[in-house]
Amino acid sequence: METLVTQAQGRVSVTILRITGRINLGNAAEIEQKARQIQQGGSRHLVIDLSQVESLTSAGLRAILIIYKIFRDEMPQETGIGSQEGRQVDTNKSPQVKLAGPSTDIRRVLKIAGFEAFLEVYDTVDEAVASF
């Protein structure tokens, strides 16, 4: 597994964490640590690029959940439906972390595990960046 961190500019500055390979028990903690470093470095908006991920185990799901919590815990909490720059926004979903590019199989795993209830999933990184 490899990670690459880049920046993109949409309406706000967005950090992109691209993960390549398999996400499993052997490397999930490394991904969590990378996300902590990103958040502690001042990033408030994160896209996790899953387009190069071959497989995602339960440990990988746990890592994504922890990343969601790392970023959520640093932001004020809101619930319900709100408005953001004239758009309707489901504030039950994370305004800080978004997922991009999962394969059909990984998207299915995310859906079955219930992750789509609190994380937005986009087909591409560009779509995810534009959503902030």
| C-alpha–C-alpha distance, residues 87 and 110, integer Å | 25
What pLDDT, in 10s, does the model give residues 25-36? 999 999 999 999
Nearest to 94 by CA among 129, 45, 49, 56: 45
- Work out how many domains the chain is built from and give that number: 1
Confidence of residue 92 (pLDDT cuts 50, 70, 90): confident
CA torsion sign for 94, 36, 55, 123 is: positive
Show the CA angle centred on residue 64, arms to residues 32 and 45, nearest 5°: 80
Residue 42 has pLDDT above 70, yes or no: yes
Helix (H, G, I), strand (E, B) or coil at 35: helix
CA torsion sign for 31, 16, 7, 76 is: negative
Confidence of residue 91 (pLDDT cuts 50, 70, 90): low
| C-alpha–C-alpha distance, residues 48 and 115, integer Å | 13
Average pLDDT over residues 119-128: 97
The pLDDT, as a whole number, for residue 93 is 87
pTM: 0.86
CATH code at position 71: 3.30.750.24
H/E stretch holding 13:
strand 13-23
Residue 88 has pLDDT above 50, yes or no: no
The residue range of the domain holding 114 is: 2-130
Residue 71 has pLDDT above 80, yes or no: yes
Picking from 16-30, 41-55, 74-88, 110-124, which range would have the lowest pLDDT averaged per residue? Answer: 74-88
